[in-house]
Amino acid sequence: MNVLVAMSGGVDSSVAAALLLEAGHDVTGVTMRLWGGESDSGCCSVSDVDDARRVAQQLGVDHFVFNFADEFIAGVVEPYVAAHEAGLTPNPCVACNHVIKFDRLFRRAEALGFDAVATGHHARVVAEGGRWRLRRAADGAKDQSYVLHMLDQATLARTLLPVGELTKAEVRDRAAALGLRTAAKPDSQEVCFIRKGGRQGFLADRLAFTPGRVVDRAGEHLGDVPAVELVTIGQRRGLGLEGGTAPRYAMSVDIASATVVVGGPEDLLVESIAMGDLTWVDGPVRGDVLAQCSAHGVPRAAIFGDGTLQFAVPSRRVAPGQTVALYRGDDVLGGGIAV
Amino acid sequence: MTAYLDHAATSPLRPEALEAMLPWLAGRHGNSTGVHGPARRARQAVEEARDEVAALLGCSAREVVFTSGGTEADNLAVAGRTGSLVCSAIEHHAVLDPVVAAGGWTIPVSSEGAVEVDAIPPGADFVSVMAVNNETGVCQPLAAVRAAAPDAVFHTDAVQAAPWVDVAEVAACADLVSVSAHKFGGPQGVGALIVREGVPVTALLRGGGQERERRSGTHNVAGIVGFATALRLAADRATANERLALLRDRLVDGLVASVPGTRETGDRARKVPGICSLVFDGIEGEALLVLLDREGIAASAASSCASGAVDPSHVLMAMGVDRALAFGSLRLSLGWDTTEAEVDQALAVVPAAVQQLRRHAA
């Protein structure tokens, strides 16, 4: 097949390209330039482009750079800022996969005549009974199927995730055996477009923070926060509360009234949550599911139906805006956003 | 076969230039500042090349400062300038960035790509306007610029002009003139800034005091020799220009006729012969370049950043082309060894590639 492999300059996508080549595919590498802002850290810095290009040269495959900066800003960065402004907790990596890698890049690849797009994600695409399944990676600790939950049949049919069958250690071994310069490169961390000053510094440049009151469930004023936009559900520290009491956590954030309500650990538990923006790997599913509510969260048994996720046992709140991926066993069913 | 249609990025080395360079790459090895025989011979080669370059560019040998290329020449021209600095909005970044960094600002251009001379502020201390734009090929009205700023230090980036026009004539009115050898069949990594007698420059590189203290650093002897040889060959341009203008016209007219929604950017009547600059509705130049590469056509979008990604062209946007369309640019540039077959190949491949991309954009 004629395969376009998205090469971030990291070890996983480097090995993905090498594996595709070994499998006999006609491989072309591409690095997306997504963010030229002051952070210039994550998947799109010039040094990462250089690493990707050098690996492509080493493998003897063509390599191009696609400038998707406009789409990244409009489809990932601006929604990220807007979500905080609305008191939500967004997952920009999910948005990037949805809007950039598995949409913008896919359309570009299709227009250029490629049969498939490959990435270095740790997850598995499996053909079964004429349908495509998206499955957790062989390396459970590195599994990234959560951020790919939006892939549908049409996309999966043209997606290759070559490192999904390998453990991270195996990936590094392969890279080292091939002498790839990225073999020992550390894993990327956090949100790629944020570096200096962290999330707070990044958002401070882009939105006006609202000072807020912290109250208990009875409405008693317990403290103050400088920015309600930065408070995440479940947060314990940084709420301006006096010590010496039982731990209290942010239970809800109301931007309009600039109020954070806190409660004890028991108040954090809910029986169900509502989900929106649902996508499905192979059509809508109801009934028993395992719900993963954060990138590395432990799956929770639940029943899904009519946009409601009913937990099997009272379960920790999920911050509105967070991605919830639904599984059955290791298979991804789909997912959505906690409302 | 690869049709190499990217001469404005870099033109293949002329065989005669290579021939002239070879002894200085293998065999002869003097440092031109030394005392001994090998050094004296290297110095002689540099000075003979300097004489030839000076004669061809219409200046005295003392006015030639050899540099590492066009970017260094441009930076040297701007370095240390104070007061009111202006440059055209369509300058190469090697001019634009240092001018803006020095607090200068830009002069607009018309929709046809020519600088608006009336917008040059009276009393500007430093004015930089390129002789020929690298993306559109449009010649700029240098004499009018000089007339509008008679007292300014006037720099012209003639990097894209040197392959096509007589720099001695066109840039006679400028105080500082940049050229680069690899645009006309010389080697990469060598160029020059002409500094007219009495015009001060602030050295960027200090050290051994070469180039009359204006540019220290061991001479790139082979490069300088290749530069002079290529410039001499390029100066015999009448026949080549005529041939390439015809080829370019056939290319532009053919593409505009066969691909709906295609527009030539810049006024062709004011263009140098070898540049075909187009924008296509509804496609991305970045994708087009990949398809063309796969079909054996080496071309450029209007501008590329260091990472290799394609940015919307600041030149086209300065000409009023909207941002989306500025992403859909293609520059095919011809040069001394371009053949009819290469142009035919482009005429055959480009329309199909554009159609393929449009089909998927719909």
Q: List the catalytic residues of A.
A: 96, 192
pLDDT average, residue stretch B141-170: 97
- pLDDT above 70 for B124: yes
pTM: 0.90
Q: Which chain B positions have a beta carbon within 8 Å of A108's beta carbon? A: 284, 287
ipTM: 0.87
Put simply, the chain B residues between 272 and 331 with a CB less than 8 A from any chain A CB are 284, 286-287, 290-291, 293-294, 305-311
Please tell me the least confidently modeled range out of A6-10, A98-102, B321-325. B321-325
Is B309 within 8 Å of A108 when comparing Cβ atoms?
Answer: no
A37 pLDDT band, cuts 50/70/90, is: low
- Closest chain A residue to B327 measured between Cα atoms? A67
List CB contacts (< 8 A) between B356 and chain A. 111, 113
pLDDT value, residue A40? 46
pLDDT at B122 > cutoff 60: yes
What percentage of chain B has pLDDT greater than the value 70? 98
Provide mean pLDDT across the span A233-247: 86
- Cβ–Cβ pairs < 8 A, chains A and B: 39
The pLDDT score that the predictor gives to residue B307 is 60
A248-284 per-position pLDDT tens digit: 999 999 999 999 999 999 999 999 999 999 999 999 9
Min CA distance, A276 vs chain B (Å)? 29
For chain A, what is the HEC assignment?
Answer: CEEEEECCCCHHHHHHHHHHHHCCCEEEEEEEECCCCCCCCCCCCHHHHHHHHHHHHHHCCEEEEEECHHHHHHHHHHHHHHHHHCCCCCCHHHHHHHHHHHHHHHHHHHHCCCCEEECCCCEEEEEECCEEEEEECCCHHHCCHHHHCCCCHHHHCCEECHHHHCCHHHHHHHHHHCCCCCCCCCCCCCCCCCCCCHHHHHHHCCCCCCCEEEEECCCCEEEEECCHHHCCCCCCCCCCCCCCCCCCEEEEEECCCCEEEEECHHHHEEEEEEEEEEEECCCCCCEEEEEECCCCCCCEEEEEECCEEEEEEEEECCCCCCEEEEEECCEEEEEEEEC
E-only strand ranges, chain B: 3-4, 64-67, 85-88, 105-107, 126-128, 153-157, 176-180, 191-195, 262-264, 275-280, 297-298, 329-333
Looking at A47-51, A59-63, A131-135, B71-75, which range is the least confident one? Answer: A47-51
Question: Which residue of A lies nearest to B288 if distances are taken between CA atoms?
Answer: A112
Tens of pLDDT along B269-316? 999 999 999 999 999 999 999 999 999 999 998 765 556 667 788 999
Question: Does pLDDT of B362 surpass 90?
Answer: no
Distance from CA of B327 to the nearest CA of A (A): 10
Interchain proximity B308–A111, CB inside 8 Å: no
**Which domains are delineated in chain B?**
3-11+237-361 (3.90.1150.10), 15-235 (3.40.640.10)
| B290: nearest CB among A33, A46, A64 | A64
Q: Which residue, among A4, A51, A67, A71, would best test binding to B if mutated, counting the most B CBs under 10 Å from its CB?
A: A67
pLDDT of B1: 82
B173-178 average pLDDT score: 98
**Cβ within 8 Å, pair A67-B357:** no
- Residue B213 pLDDT > 80: yes
pLDDT at A43: 45
Domains and CATH numbers, chain A: 2-121+161-177 (3.40.50.620), 208-263 (2.30.30.280)
The verdict on a CB contact (< 8 Å) between A65 and B308 is: yes
User: What confidence tier does A38 reach under pLDDT thresholds 50, 70, 90?
Assistant: very low
Average pLDDT over residues B156-163: 98
Tell me whether A74 touches chain B (CB under 8 Å): no
The Cα A214–Cα A239 span in angstroms is: 7
The predicted pLDDT at position A194 comes to 84
Q: pLDDT tens digits for A150-196?
A: 999 999 999 999 999 999 999 999 999 999 988 888 887 678 888 77
